[in-house]
Structure 1
Amino acid sequence: MSPTPDVTNSWIRRLRPRPDAAVRLVCFPHAGGSATYYHPLAHSPSLTPAAEVLAVQYPGRQDRRREPLVDSLSLLADQAATALEPLADRPLVLFGHSMGATLAYEVARRLGARRPAGEPRWLLVSGRRAPSRFRGGTVHLRTDTELVEELRRVGGTDPAFLDDPELLETILPVVRNDYRAIEGYRWTPVPPLTCPITALVGDRDPQTTLDEAAAWKQHTSGAFELRDFAGGHFYLDAHRQGVADAVSRVLERVARPMETLGGNGR
């Protein structure tokens, strides 16, 4: 059983508390996901001890299930950025998968706009095309049966949940809401981030091609790296060690205060 995460505020869960950590890793879940999805990453033996691991808990799920769902990615980004500001006394690294990648990017933008040097030190994006690469989407308009079929197709949801009518009654409204949020998102051209970006992607991801993942390079003036793994949209479930290693390398670099990151001296 996963350990119960510490609650910092209604938005943030401390999956691996490290009061004296040199850097904080903040994880953003996928559509329909929750903070606990990142327990395996947080407790990976290969993840550097230099980092504290936090995860964002969106409204309307798990311990926030009685709160109204938010179907606007912009509003989610506004609220999540506000929740993270008090934790920016340590260098932040943001990591998001799927919808969480786009949300992490928008939070990074907001943190940078709110105060000098407020950007996170690094942005890791997984399983999501660059914001500038738009694809239309109508998954949120599908019937419940069609929505379940989509969840089976992309993976990431325990099949036992999808076969349980009572659990589906709880899951589907959250999934539909999150798809509405990400499918309604439109990127507005803005100056690129200055922090480095690392993009991770499965080489058979139906939602993100390698070319669409490589386009994240356009969203930073700093360093960029693309890492591909064998697998589909939830490749990271089969490559937990490899993902943890990739994240750990970034955290180790940020934890070294004298190292120049991405050629921008931050």
Structure 2
Amino acid sequence: MVVGALVVVVVLIAAPKYVWIGIGGAVCVVVVIGAIAVGVSVYQDRSSAKAKRERQQQAVQSAAEKKKQERRERRERQRRVKDLGARNADLTESALAAVKQIAESEAAVAGWLGDVDFTADIRSITQSFSKAHALRKVAGELSALDDPSDDDRKILAEAEATAADLERAAVQRVELIGRCATEAQLIDESLRDERDDARTAEQRAELHAKLRGMLYGIESAPDVAPADSTADAVMARVQAYREIKNQIQQARDGR
């Protein structure tokens, strides 16, 4: 191995100048290519790390926004329960969900439902439930007192009837909004069915036109059957063979 190395060194020393220039150029090219490869690798690693950091930041931000939204919803829920009562809060939230469903429906976006601003309806529902809840709260405090009088019983009955009327009117409005959401969903389904029917009709027309063209082409084209059909020839030979065989058999039977 040492001798081989010495031979290589001697050959290189004895090599002409242009050989050294070529070797130097090749070395430079290799160095440049290596530097470019290293640079590309470093750039890719940095880009990948940057993208990973951005994804992590987005995930953290999304999680934080989700927690904020959940806290807002919990506070809003607690406020409704306090102001309206648990049952009335549920009904109000169902009306709000129905309003959102209506507003996001294709029927509303396309203008089939006209004005879909239910602000006044939600305000009326909330106020009615709030008044009914407040009446029942004060009535409960009065009914908790000892030795109720006739006036107590009379005003308690009036408060209960008024609260019931308020809640009844609010519940009817909640149910009406729910029916609006149902109707909006039905219109959306009808619109989707109409689009499906239109696509089917278009496809049917295209296929009819294609089939008519194919049939016209086949009918107007000259007969493409070969003059000397191999299949016909084979069947003719089969028939001839059977006839000959039949004649031979008849001759044998006649002897």
The two structures have a TM-score, normalised by structure 2, of 0.19
The answer to which structure has the higher helix fraction is: 2
- Give the structure with higher Rg (CA): 2
Of the two structures, which has the highest relative contact order with CA contacts closer than 8 Å and spacing of 6 or more?
1
The two structures have a TM-score, normalised by structure 1, of 0.19
The answer to which structure has the higher strand fraction is: 1
